[in-house]
């Protein structure tokens, strides 16, 4: 078990290999489809003009994502009426939807850890090698359990995207995760896909 604290150093990232268990603590941000698309279009490809609080939010998240972690999560949040936010459920979202964006976001922000479920593809794996960074697999179906690792909600950005799609800034303690894509070009997900294709071809040939 590796005990990691955010921000995460390159040295710590390079020590990790697929299959390693990780306990993660520190301050991180949630982000799903809308956030990834907004980041790419507004700040990386610049195909969309900044508006409203875009620049202010960018400056805030850039500091947090540098050496940080981004969690693919659409939480259920209590306290929306009062602003006394509390995570009720915080299960991981299927990550492959962010594959078109993730590598560029990792490079732009020096993002060290992407957290979700189901794994990602070759673009993200390449970015993990280059940045360097890792993909950390969270436990699917354990949303309430994961929420217990959230010590407090520090802030929220882009709440106008909707509660599941907003960027929640949260402090976590001892979040249990598994490395399934590392900085050494190894991916459990790619290995499973390859083995599955071999078995499928065998079945189709019989």
Catalytic residue among 36, 72, 137, 157: 36
Q: Tell me, yes or no, if 36 is annotated catalytic.
A: yes
Beta bridge partners of 171: 27, 152
Rg (CA), the chain: 17
Q: Which residues are catalytic?
A: 36
């Amino acid at each position: 078990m590796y005990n990691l604290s955010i921000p995460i150093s390159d040295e710590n990232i390079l020590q990790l290999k697929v299959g390693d268990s990780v306990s993660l603590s520190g301050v991180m941000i949630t982000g799903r489809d809308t956030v990834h698309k907004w980041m790419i279009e507004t700040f990386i490809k610049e195909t969309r003009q900044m508006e409203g609080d875009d620049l202010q939010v960018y400056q805030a998240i850039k500091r947090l994502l540098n050496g940080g972690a981004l969690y693919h999560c659409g939480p259920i949040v209590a306290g929306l009426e009062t602003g006394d936010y509390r995570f009720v459920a915080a299960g991981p979202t299927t990550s492959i939807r962010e594959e078109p964006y993730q590598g560029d976001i990792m490079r732009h922000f020096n993002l060290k850890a992407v957290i979700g479920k189901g794994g990602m593809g070759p673009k993200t794996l390449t970015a993990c090698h280059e940045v360097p960074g890792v993909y950390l697999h969270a436990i699917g179906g354990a949303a309430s359990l994961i929420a217990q690792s959230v010590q407090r909600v520090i802030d929220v950005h882009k709440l106008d995207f909707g509660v599941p799609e907003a960027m929640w800034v949260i402090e976590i303690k001892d979040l249990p995760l598994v490395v399934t894509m590392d900085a050494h070009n190894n991916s459990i997900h790619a290995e499973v896909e390859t083995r599955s294709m071999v078995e499928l071809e065998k079945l189709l040939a019989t």
